[in-house]
Amino acid sequence: MTLWAIVSDIHGRGDRLARVLADAQSLRAERVLALGDIASPVALDMLQAVDAEYVFGNWEASGLRGQRAPYRGWIARWPAQFRADGFLAAHASPVWPPKLSIAHVVEHLRSNNLHWSALFPSIRHSEEARWAAFAELDAEDISVFFHGHTHVQEAWRWPPGGAPSHIPGSAGELTLDAAARWLIGVGSVGEPHDGAGAAYALYDTAARLLRWRRV
């Protein structure tokens, strides 16, 4: 069993991240996963101090060249996706071009005349993005996907043979049944769009228990 604290979209708010990390520690979180759009050396240092895992977001991809050393070289090694304990996580979507690294994102978009939303779609606002995400989970036989980007705590559940249903973060906690496919928005630490307080998620891999937190 691992209890993960999953954070995203800090956007430079180290003060809010400090509250989140303190809350996660008080609840005995064992690991921290950051889903991108961190946007501050202070926040990066705080995450390094707790030995967090990372994926890059659109903020890191668009601003990589402007990062100061030593952060630039470190962020350049971040992956687009993270897999562990039966779940998949990324900043926006589980769909990602094979072998596309953060250093080549801008070039990829320009050379293919694509908008940023082609790589970083909104699962909240795009039904097409949700179906693409569910299809990717189905193809990979993964039941749980965590994402940020939308700045909203919510879930989409797709049961076998059924239609997807929406569950708002106000539900507080969910047990994620293994038969369904789940898209989980963890919310935003720095700029939540669904209420006050720094938002993040806790996930107990053994119990498959998700808890949305706001501090």
Q: What is the pLDDT of residues 150-190, one digit of tens each?
A: 999 999 999 999 999 999 999 999 999 999 999 999 999 99
Query: How far from 183 is each of 29, 49, 89, 159, 206, CA to CA, in Å?
Result: 21, 29, 10, 12, 18
Q: What letter represents residue 191's amino acid?
A: E
Q: Which domain holds residue 177?
A: 3-214
Task: Compute the average pLDDT of residues 136-145.
Answer: 97
Sign of the dihedral defined by the CA atoms of residues 14, 67, 148, 29, in that order = negative
**pLDDT score recorded for residue 67:** 81
**pLDDT score recorded for residue 66:** 79
Q: Residue written as tokens 């978009």?
A: 109
- Give the total number of structural domains in the chain: 1
Which CATH number characterizes residue 70's domain?
3.60.21.10
Q: What is the pLDDT of residues 65-122, one digit of tens each?
A: 778 888 899 999 999 999 998 999 999 999 999 999 999 999 999 999 999 999 999 9
Q: Is residue 70 classed as helix, strand or coil in its secondary structure?
A: coil
User: DSSP string covering 76-144, please?
Assistant: TT--SEEEETTEEEESS-S---TT--GGGHHHHHHHTT--GGGTS--TTT-HHHHHHHHHHHHHHT--E
**pLDDT score recorded for residue 63:** 87
**Average pLDDT over the chain, rounded to an integer:** 96
Q: What is the pLDDT of residues 27-62, one digit of tens each?
A: 999 999 999 999 899 999 999 999 999 999 999 999
Q: Are 135 and 94 in contact (CB under 8 A)?
A: no
Enter the pTM of the model.
0.97
